[in-house]
């Protein structure tokens, strides 16, 4: 059974520092991995989608890497801002329908 783990569970950094969020999964047979952002009491906003054949994806200050063989992905957020404060979730797709298996998330606080 696929298990997705995110470390750390919580992270607090001063504004301007780079953020490094980790995601690991136990079964490397994935179709893709997606990073989401969730603000308190809200839905999910898709940040980046990495296909299983890709090594990384970039969007603005965000960069996500994927090492499928070792079951790991890392989300880097450069030059963090207070507006980056949120919970970040990673999820893997392991079936042809596109069902997602989520990690527990990393709660990020960026202090001014």
- Which residues are near other proteins by CB under 8 A? 31-32, 34, 36, 41-46, 49, 51, 89, 91, 93, 95-105
Q: Distances from the Cα of 63 to the Cαs of 50, 70, 73, 84, in angstroms?
A: 10, 18, 10, 14
- Smaller CB distance to other proteins: residue 11 or 17? 11
In whole angstroms, how close is the CB of 106 to other proteins at the nearest point? 11
Please report, in angstroms and rounded to a whole number, the separation of the first and last CA atoms in the chain: 41
In whole angstroms, how close is the CB of 62 to other proteins at the nearest point? 14
In whole angstroms, how close is the CB of 15 to other proteins at the nearest point? 26
């Amino acid at each position: 059974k696929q298990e997705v783990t995110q470390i750390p569970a919580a992270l607090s950094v001063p504004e301007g520092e780079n953020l490094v969020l980790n995601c690991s999964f136990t079964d490397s047979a994935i179709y893709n991995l997606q990073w989401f952002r969730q603000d308190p009491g809200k839905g999910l906003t898709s940040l980046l989608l990495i296909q299983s054949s890709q090594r990384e994806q970039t969007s603005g200050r965000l960069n996500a890497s994927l090492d499928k063989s070792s079951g790991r992905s890392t989300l880097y957020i450069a030059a963090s801002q207070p507006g980056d404060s949120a919970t970040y979730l990673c999820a893997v797709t392991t079936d042809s329908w596109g069902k997602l298996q989520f990690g527990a998330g990393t709660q990020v606080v960026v202090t001014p």
